[in-house]
Amino acid sequence: MKVRRAATLVLAACAAAALLVAAPLAGARTEGKLTAFNLSFVGVYKHDVTFIGDAVGLGAAGREDGVDVHLGYRTNRIESLRWLGKPQVHAMVSINSENTSNFVAAGFDWRIELGQPGGFYLRPGLGLAYTDGETQLPPANAPNISDEERARRTYLYYHRIDFGSKVLFEPELALGYDINDSWSAELSYTHLSNGQIFHQGKNQGLDDAGVRLVYKF
């Protein structure tokens, strides 16, 4: 089972990387040159926080523990997507310290300056994610199951997020500051949920909150 989950996660990571490469090559050319990868980032997040969801009414599972490490890339702005606000493409992988709900994600984000360029900025984003976490957990109160199986299901109910589906939406928001020409720091929030679109039913979702360093190259 662990091997299957790892293989699935690797395949999903390859798909995200393919999206990352394809988006710039599909038309992001500036002055005759291909737009290249220009940002990499690493972040440390508290896994499955509840305070943000409680504050904005999104809800949160509050079932899983640990710390998530996010590793990712962003492209330059895609000039050809003016109708979409010239977004950047991001792709990332999130690894949980407790090996519960890892995920990969890819999507668009936008840098919005707060004042003069080179200072504070907002970075909203939206993408799709794939998780190796639990989906459609079996009910603990089902009839005709053993006490051992009932205990196992009860434990899962209280200690694992039930995402409903493996494919999820990935909205995010960051507040960043340019430390210098090469480095930025961001306070970051990432949310995963199926939005009752990829699955009808359970939609407990995941909230990650943390900090990340961004390197420009």
Could you give all domains of the chain from N- to C-terminal order, each with its CATH number? 2-216 (2.40.160.20)
Q: How far apart are CA 47 and CA 204, in angstroms?
A: 14
Angstrom distance (rounded) from CA 147 to CA 80: 60
**What per-residue confidence (pLDDT) applies to 57?**
60
Closest CA to 208 of 156, 136, 131: 131
Q: What mean pLDDT comes out for the span 57-83?
A: 89
Residue 108 CB contacts under 8 Å (≥ 6 apart), including other chains: 84, 87, 88, 89, 90, 125, 126, 127
Residue range 2-55, pLDDT digits in tens? 444 544 454 454 444 444 444 444 444 444 333 344 789 999 999 999 887 677
C-alpha to C-alpha distance for 176 and 186, rounded to whole angstroms: 4
Q: Which residue has the tokens 């109708």?
A: 83
Q: Which residue has the higher pLDDT, 32 or 160?
A: 160
**pLDDT at position 123, please?**
97
pLDDT tens per residue, range 78-125: 999 999 999 999 999 999 999 999 999 999 999 999 988 889 999 999
